[in-house]
Amino acid sequence: MCHYKIIDQLLQILGLSFHPKRPWVLASLHNGVIQLWDYRMCTLIDKFDEHDGPVRGIDFHKQQPLFVSGGDDYKIKVWNYKLRRCLFTLLGHLDYIRTTFFHHEYPWILSASDDQTIRIWNWQSRTCVCVLTGHNHYVMCAQFHPSEDLVVSASLDQTVRVWDISGLRKKNLSPGAVETEVRGISGVDLFGASDAVVKHVLEGHDRGVNWAAFHPSMPLIVSGADDRQVKIWRMNESKAWELDTCRGHYNNVSCAVFHPRQELILSNSEDKSIRVWDMSKRTGVQTFRRDHDRFWVLGAHPNLNLFAAGHDSGMIVFKLERERPAYAVHGNMLYYVKDRFLRQLDFNSSKDTAVMQLRSGSKFPVFSMSYNPAENAVLLCTRATNLENSTYDLYSIPKESDSQNPDAPEGKRSSGLTAVWVARNRFAVLDRMHSLLIKNLKNEIVKKVQVPSCEEIFYAGTGSLLLRDADGVTLFDVQQKRSLATVKIAKVKYVVWSADTSHVALLAKHAIMICNRKLESLCNIHENIRVKSGAWDESGVFIYTTSNHIKYALTSGDHGIIRTLDLPIYVTRVRGNSVYCLDRECRPRVLTIDPTEYRFKLALVNRKYDEVLHMVRNAKLVGQSIIAYLQKKGYPEVALHFVKDEKTRFSLALECGNIEVALEAAKALDERSCWERLGEAALLQGHHQVVEMCYQRTKNFDKLTFLYLITGNLAKLRKMMKIAEIRKDMSGHYQAALYLGDVSERVRILKNCGQKSLAYLTAATHGLDEEAEALKETFDPEKETVPEVDPNAQLLQPPPPINPLDTNWPLLTVSKGFFEGAIAAKGESSALTHNRYGFMDAQEALGDDGIGKEEGGGWEVEEDLDLPPELDMPAGAGGGAEDGFFVPPTKGMSPSQMWCNNSQLPVDHILAGSFETAMRLLHDQVGVVNFGPYKTLFMQTLSRGRTCYLGLPSLPCLRSHPQRNWKDCGAKQGLPAVGLRLSDLISRLQQCYQLTTAGRFEEAVERFRVILLSVPLLVVDNKQEIAEAQQLITICREYIVGLTMETERKKLPKDTLEQQKRLCEMAAYFTHCNLQPVHMVLVLRTALNLFFKLRNFKTAAGFARRLLELGPKPDVAQQTRKILAACEKTLTDAHQLNYDPHNPFDLCAASFVPLYRGRPVEKCPLSGACYCPTYKGQICRVTQVTEIGKDVIGLRVSPLQFR
Amino acid sequence: MAAQQGDVDELFDVKNAYYIGSYQQCINEAQKQPRLFVFSFKPSSPEKETERDMFLYRAYIAQRKYAVVLDDIKANSPPELQAVKMFAEYLSSESKRDAIVADLDKKMAKSVDLNTDAALRTLHQGESLECMAMTIQVLLSLDRVDLARKELKKMQEQDEDATLTQLATAWVNIAVGGEKLQDAYYIFQEMSDKYSSTLLLLNGQAACYMAQNKWEEAEGVLQEALDKDSSHPETLINLIVLTQHLGKAPEVTNRYLSQLKDAHRAHPFLKDYLAKENEFDRLVLQYAPTATA
């Protein structure tokens, strides 16, 4: 039994009912109160307090917002929980009411009472429609059959009765029937007998029966009684009989129910236990005990795998087995267990297939899964109630499987709590002794590893495990057998690694911790509701679910709700705004989420301000919460961007030191306090123009005056003096005069305010004698004495400003942040602090180096523990070795040698590096005698024959030999991967054509020749390709011959007629090379022009017609037709040439003369170019490698040609 | 130096980084080790320190920073380090090689120069994993896969999960070919997942891919290797192979070849290459047309 919620309110609970849809449970209490609880959140939603005394019967209506209750006050009350009040009360019972139930379909309520009757009420007409009498003691329980017209009741008279109420249904609900008003018990006497009759009386309990219930689908009844037994009864149309008894409770059984979907019975008892029984085996499967509380009632959820049990001091809500599907994700594949199948879901194509059937035999569902992509193997762990009996199965998934009827491969089962892959061919098993075993694919123990105390193991990348003990998780390296890091977090249940294993989320019941690869905690999140599952999205945000929310967490610790959930789901993958998950029925689902909020926060954390700005501009994000968030997290400059409200804008701008924006806001606000704050901030930045404006706005003359003084702005200072005078601010006026060093003004002020002696002294001291004299005269010698002038007095004059400061203080240039740029404002000088830190880091690093170096020297070592083996040897050949004489092995046969043995194709020999044999083969097959031009091809081919990989450092690399038949060649039958494809050569032909079109004949010939020479180095698979290869040779030959001839022709002189005739002949022969139409058009045009000029109109007309047949461009065609017309006027040839278009000929590739059919011809063995017999034995002009007229085997490019 | 069963090897990180070709990390680990010990173990024994330094200097050698080794190891350093120094000298100057080998009185058979018999004879006496791994490497270079497999079995008996054993398994698997290639690939892949991807591991993966004719996949891996070090000889060699198999223009291949010739004139591949060119030139002379024009 797992997952129970305890709701303790320290009151006895007598009745329970689950809401069919919402996460609610109703509990009726001994004190007369009915409570409505949200069992997921464990919160009390509502209270209904109208009953007097204990309430025992309670039931939700399946569709309506109603529930019914029955109490010891003999009352049945029907309530509406939306209206939160009792709708009406049904009176009639004469004693305590034990149970009340709604009918699933009809508007009926069934009640059982201590008055020995069972009553059926119509809650629409609010009347009693039937009274079932027959029990002769308290009726403890009465329930409708879930589908048939039956009622089962249990009574302290030791019987269970089954009643047939079909009569009642017909009477009340058959169409057209008038509902009979049954008033009082007298009416029941009249009709009751026919409305509801006892069908079966089940006798067998030898004490009072407390509960009886129908099976939801089978004709079974379960009952629990004070004889401490749970009995199962079977019935058919005619009779009912006892099937079996479950013994085990040692006090009165209060309640017994069938599991809605499994072959289980649940019962609870006053012996303070809940027991689960296997229906077929009649044995107890599980027991749950409480220490002090007797159980009184059990309720099963109509749809979900949930139960509630009420006891002396509260209730528990529980389920019998975990509903978490076992699943594993690899790449785009989700593997999960559903029913007895392992299924595979392709996230991209949503293709869901069953890949194999699991071995049956465990009554427990699969607990967890670990998938191994390299071996396509899976470990399925099964937890038993008794942990020690847990097992795991190792399956290798069949490669191909019929989804309808998948294979059931034989797995390997062993005992162990958890099994997790740690490497491609290794997995770790935590056995029941809590020690760690490493096993191989054969399920054999490879080694045992001593681990710190450990309750559970989790995957942690190759070669590592996470070990969970009572209060923490340890990262353990299995290979080194040592702990690498530990983090404290209680009871981690699941571990979710990010795709690149750089981060891990540790999920406990109510907490999430995100750590990095080194298991350093990055953040901790506490949840009030159970954490269910999670997955990392591609941007490194952890998306997780609780019982009722999908939430996100950034590694910085920011987290929040994305959306709510009706039912718990298990997240398998997150991509973009799709959350892939499995629900509790193991159905794969895809939910859509709005990722804006966490993306925004992530962008902020990563300081990707362009993204932030984009989101700000395009997403509907703005709200107080975001602004508060930004401000709290220290991004006032970002927040500034959001805010329209001037006041907030102003304070944000001040916070990030953005004077311009603050000024703007202050202007808009125009409040004294704003100006003052702005003035202070601006003063700190030396932005004295703004300071001046602030002082002006706030009319702070003193400060303004001082500002002018310190900035050396004498003109304004003087102005201030005038203003002070006007304002009659005597001291301000004097102060300004003092600042200005304006003595006469000071004297005037002093005089005006009656400080005559001071005025006199000022004047006298500063040598304003006239003034002094004038003043002296005003003194009344009798009353006043003229003050003494200090002879040592010095001139007090403020120094004149060297350079009046009319610009602001220069600020450090800070590279503008994205937002500052975007808002067009200046930033503060925070770069300075950064610099300092950087500097300190550098110092620290320096210090470290120093330490490292100190450790470096001055040790002495006597013994050698770790001498590199190549150095660690006493003598040469076997000297001193104890194990006798060592004979070094002889060199083995390398794959390349085998290639030579296995193939007669020249390219295979070149790849193998056997040039000698390769040359022989080429010589024998296609008559190559001059290998010079082949050098590049040979070397290139050789260089692709072997790859290399590094063995031990500093040693020469090892060579690997890619083979074209690597899958099935075995050790001896290898053939090299060729790396030269016919299709490549054909595509290279296009380049040659282009060169030809462009008229770069020599280059083109070169390229054609490389292709031609490459053809014998091909390996092809079928006859068609052999033919294509040969055709390729022909094409190359035609072009090479033609283009060489054309090049030759262009070099020839054309002075004499003979020479011109030769030119024409050659041009004419060219038209007989087999070229692409586009080239042929060009060739024909040349020939046409030459012949026309030579006045050989007849032949020219022939060329013109051939040209027109090729469909040239309109302008060419037009011109050609003109020439043709001209030729046709005089259809004769002026000169006799060695060219007969109607007599088929081959062209000698050396002398460029026609070799008419029937005349002796020598051919090139490779290209097939023709030659006059005189050239026999010479090098072919086309290939430049073969010998003309050589007797050869022929081109061999496929193993087919050797059969 | 064999990792004894059940023992925690304090130099694990140093050695491991060295074996998988993560030389800088090896150097870093070796240099930070003393501080680590302050709070983990007692300062390691002098033997361990020597051992650590050996790996440190060998890592420098692998990075071709011979001068560091030659300068750091003084005449009074322990004999093991002297050996390392000698190796550095050997590699640093080709001219002195013969002298050094002679100096060792032909005892030391460092298998750089195909003196495989002597190397095997020497290695035969060692029983450490590294000795065995080296034996396997020599055997593979002799194309004795059969013997290499036997040696590997011995390694696996000693410690199947050790990094060296895993690497050696991969080498042998590549040599065996067929289905084993995928296993070899997974070994390299696993190591780069677990530690970090290095040129050694990447080229291993590339070799596996190419042996399976998965040229496109190999291209990705080699590109990654090239990004790490654009003049790494083995990467360049593999690219020479790969570009041809991908059907790229000969110029692309030649570019890599020139790069290799530029930076690693003494690389065995180029030595072979030149030897083959000479052989070709020699063989050409054996053929001639029966008549000349």
Q: State residue B116's pLDDT score.
A: 62
Q: What is the mean pLDDT of residues A291-302?
A: 89
The verdict on a CB contact (< 8 Å) between B78 and A861 is yes
Examine the domain organization and report whether B190 and B170 are in the same domain: no
What average pLDDT does range B21-43 have in this prediction? 64
B64, B83, B110: which is the final residue of a domain? B110
Indicate if the pLDDT at residue A784 is higher than 80. Answer: no
Residue A611: partners with Cβ closer than 8 Å, 6 or more residues away = A599, A603
Higher local confidence (pLDDT), A742 or A1035: A1035
- Give me the pLDDT at residue A886, please: 66
Tokens 């001498």 correspond to what residue? A867
Half-sphere exposure of residue A1149: CA atoms within 13 angstroms, side-chain side = 29
| Residue of chain B with shortest Cα separation from A895 | B143
**Mean pLDDT in residue range A1055-1083:** 87
Q: Is B143 a domain residue?
A: yes
pLDDT score recorded for residue A363: 67
Average pLDDT over residues A34-55: 88
Cβ-defined contact of B283 to A872 (cutoff 8 Å): no
* Distances in whole angstroms, Cα of residue A602 to Cα of each of A409, A497, A516, A857: 46, 19, 17, 48
Query: Is residue B5 domain-resident?
Result: no
Q: Which of B237, B62, B288 is closest to A868 using CA atoms? A: B62
Instruction: State how far Cα A752 lies from the chain centre.
Output: 85
Q: Which residues are A24's β-sheet partners?
A: A38
pLDDT for the residue numbered A151: 93
A636-644 long-range Cβ contacts below 8 angstroms, 24+ apart: A637/A817, A637/A819, A637/A820, A637/A823, A637/A827, A638/A604, A638/A609, A638/A612, A638/A819, A640/A819, A640/A823, A641/A613, A641/A616, A641/A819, A641/A822, A641/A823, A642/A616
Report the pLDDT value the prediction gives residue A285, as an integer from 0 to 100. Answer: 81
Asked, for residue B152, whether it belongs to a domain, the answer is yes
B117 has pLDDT over 80: no
Of the candidates A259, A234, A258, A229, which has an alpha carbon nearest to the alpha carbon of residue A246?
Answer: A229
Confidence of residue B126 (pLDDT cuts 50, 70, 90): low
**Which of B110, B139, B158 delimits the end of a domain?**
B110
Is pLDDT above 60 for A109? yes
CB contact under 8 A, B23 and A953: yes
User: Considering the domain boundaries, does residue B136 fall inside one?
Assistant: yes
Domains of chain B: total: 3
For residues A59 and A61, give the distance between their C-alpha atoms in angstroms, rounded to a whole number: 7
Nearest CA-CA distance, residue A552 and chain B, Å = 27
- Provide the pLDDT for residue A594: 85
A1002-1046 pLDDT per residue, tens: 889 988 998 999 998 888 888 888 889 989 999 999 999 999 988
Chain A CB contacts of B142 under 8 Å are: 889-892
In a domain, B3, yes or no: no
Statement to judge: residues B203 and B144 lie in one domain: no
Does one domain contain both B96 and B139? Answer: no
Nearest 5°: phi and psi at B96?
-85, -5
Q: Which has the closest alpha carbon to A1148: A1169, A1176, A1177, A1179?
A: A1169
- Of the listed ranges A585-594, A652-661, A835-844, B23-32, the least confidently predicted one is A835-844
* Nearest C-alpha neighbor of B34 from the set B14, B17, B58: B14
Strand ranges inside A503-564, DSSP E? 503-508, 511-516, 521-526, 531-536, 542-546, 549-553, 559-564
Give how far the C-alpha of residue A1120 lies from the chain's centroid of Cα atoms, to the nearest Å: 68
A85-99, A184-198, A721-735, B136-150 — which one is most confidently predicted on average?
A: A85-99
Residue with tokens 């191989």, as numbered in its chain = A440
Chain centroid, CA A961 distance in Å: 38
Q: Cβ distance A600 to A612 under 8 Å?
A: yes
* Cβ(B137)–Cβ(B147) below 8 Å: no
Average per-residue pLDDT in chain A? 82
* Nearest CA among A641, A640, A642 for reference residue A651: A640
Subunit contact B6:A450, Cβ cutoff 8 A: yes
One-letter amino acid for residue A1116 of the chain: V
Of A873, A942, A980, the CB nearest to B125: A873
> A388: helix, coil or strand?
helix
CA distance A873 to A854: 32
Tokens representing residue A1134 in the block = 């002026």
ipTM: 0.85
Q: Is the pLDDT of residue B76 over 90?
A: no
Considering the domain architecture, whether residues B148 and B196 belong to the same structural domain is answered as no
Coarse DSSP helix, strand, coil percentages of chain B, rounded to the nearest 5 percent: 70, 0, 30
The reply to whether B105 and B22 lie within a common domain is yes
pLDDT over 70 for what percent of chain A?
89
Alpha carbon distance A435, A383 (integer Å) = 17
pLDDT for the residue numbered A647: 80
- In this structure, is residue B52 part of a structural domain? yes
A256: its two tokens: 């017994």
Q: What's the CA angle centered on B208, arms B157 and B172, to 5 degrees?
A: 25
pLDDT exceeds 60 at position A1050: yes
Work out the pLDDT band at A506, boundaries 50, 70, 90. very high
Report residue A176's pLDDT band, with 50, 70 and 90 as the boundaries: very low
Question: Does residue A268 contact residue A275 with C-beta atoms inside 8 Å?
Answer: yes
Return the pLDDT at B36. 44
Of B123, B148, B176, the residue that ends a domain is B176
Contacts of A954 in chain B (CB under 8 A): 58, 61-62, 87, 91
Amino acid identity of residue B184, one-letter, is A
Dist. CA A218–CA A1028, nearest whole Å: 75
Q: What average pLDDT does range A912-918 have in this prediction?
A: 87
The domain spans of chain A are: 3-169+195-319, 700-807, 983-1201
pLDDT in tens, A209-245: 999 999 988 899 999 999 999 999 999 888 889 988 9
Among A466-475, A868-877, A992-1001, A1042-1051, whose mean pLDDT is lowest?
Answer: A868-877
pLDDT at A581 over 60: yes
Distance CA A93, CA A131 (A): 10
Whether chain A has a CB inside 8 Å of the CB on B133: the answer is yes
Query: If you average pLDDT over residues A702-717, what whole number do you get?
Result: 84
Q: Which long-range contacts (CB under 8 A, 24 or more apart) does B84-89 make?
A: B84/A868, B84/A871, B84/B54, B84/B57, B84/B58, B85/B57, B86/A871, B87/A871, B87/A954, B87/B58, B87/B61, B88/B57, B88/B60, B88/B61
B286 and B190 both lie in a single domain: yes
Q: Tell whether B118 and B153 lie within a shared domain.
A: yes
Helix ranges (DSSP H) in A998-1113 = 1001-1014, 1023-1051, 1057-1070, 1077-1093, 1097-1109
Choice between A949 and A782, residue whose per-residue pLDDT is larger: A949
Which of A498-512, A766-780, B23-37 has the lowest average pLDDT? B23-37
Count Cα neighbours of A758 within 13 Å in the Cβ-side half-sphere: 13
pLDDT at position B98 is 67
CA A1087 to chain centroid: 69
**CATH number, domain with residue B268:** 1.25.40.10
- Structural domain including B264 reads 184-292
Statement: residue A190 has pLDDT above 50: no
Task: HSE, CB side, 13 Å, CA atoms: give it for residue A329.
Answer: 21
Q: Which residue has the higher pLDDT, A152 or A882?
A: A152
Higher pLDDT pick, A1061 / A866 = A1061
Task: Output the pLDDT for position A502.
Answer: 87
Could B293 and A1179 be called an inter-chain contact, meaning their C-beta atoms sit closer than 8 Å?
yes
Average pLDDT, chain B: 79
Q: Identify the pLDDT of residue B8.
A: 60
Indicate if B94 and B135 belong to the same structural domain. no
Query: Cβ of B291 and A1176 within 8 Å?
Result: yes
Chain A residues near residue B211 by CB distance under 8 angstroms: 947, 960-963, 966
Maximum distance among all alpha carbons in chain A?
A: 161
Task: Supply the DSSP symbol for A908.
Answer: H
- Confidence at A829, pLDDT banded by 50, 70, 90: very low
Closest CA to A16 of A556, A7, B129: A7
Contact pairs from chain A to chain B, CB under 8 Å: 338
Q: Which is the CATH superfamily of the domain at A3-169+195-319?
A: YVTN repeat-like/Quinoprotein amine dehydrogenase (2.130.10.10)
Which pair of tokens denotes residue B248?
Answer: 């790229």
Q: Which of A890, A944, A954 sits opposite B58 (nearest CB)?
A: A954
Residue in chain A nearest B278 by alpha carbon: A935
A494, A483 Cβ separation under 8 angstroms: no
CA distance B287 to chain A (A): 5
Residue A867 to residue B253, Cβ atoms within 8 A: no
Q: Do both B88 and B116 map to the same domain?
A: no
Rounded mean pLDDT, A420-445: 87
* Crossing angle between the packed helical segments B145-159 and B129-141, to the nearest 10 degrees: 160
Give dist(CA B122, CA A867) in Å, integer: 13
> For residue range B191-224, what is the model confidence (pLDDT) as tens digits?
888 888 888 899 999 999 998 888 888 999 999 9
> Which pLDDT tens digit goes with each residue over A47-80?
999 999 999 999 999 989 999 999 999 999 999 9
Mean pLDDT on A521-527? 89
pLDDT of residue A787 exceeding 80: no
DSSP A365: P
What is the C-alpha separation between A967 and A972, in angstroms, rounded?
13
The arithmetic mean of pLDDT across residues A604-615, rounded, is 76
Residue A677 has pLDDT above 80, yes or no: yes
Look at A892 and B145 and tell me if their CB atoms are within 8 Å.
yes
**A692, A700 contact by CB (below 8 A):** no
Place of tokens 């032949």: A1099
State the pLDDT at residue B33: 53
Of A124-138, A520-534, A954-968, which gets the smallest average pLDDT?
A954-968
Q: Is residue B1 part of a domain?
A: no
Q: Is the pLDDT of residue B244 over 80?
A: yes
Q: Give yes or no for residue A189 having a pLDDT over 80.
A: no
Which fold is adopted by the domain A700-807?
A: 1.25.40
Same domain, B209 and B276: yes
- Indicate whether B210 and B284 sit together in one domain: yes
CB contact under 8 A, A876 and B142: no
pLDDT score, position A60:
94
> Do B70 and B41 belong together in one domain?
yes
The CA–CA distances, whole Å, from A307 to A58, A256, A265, A302, A377 equal: 15, 12, 12, 9, 37
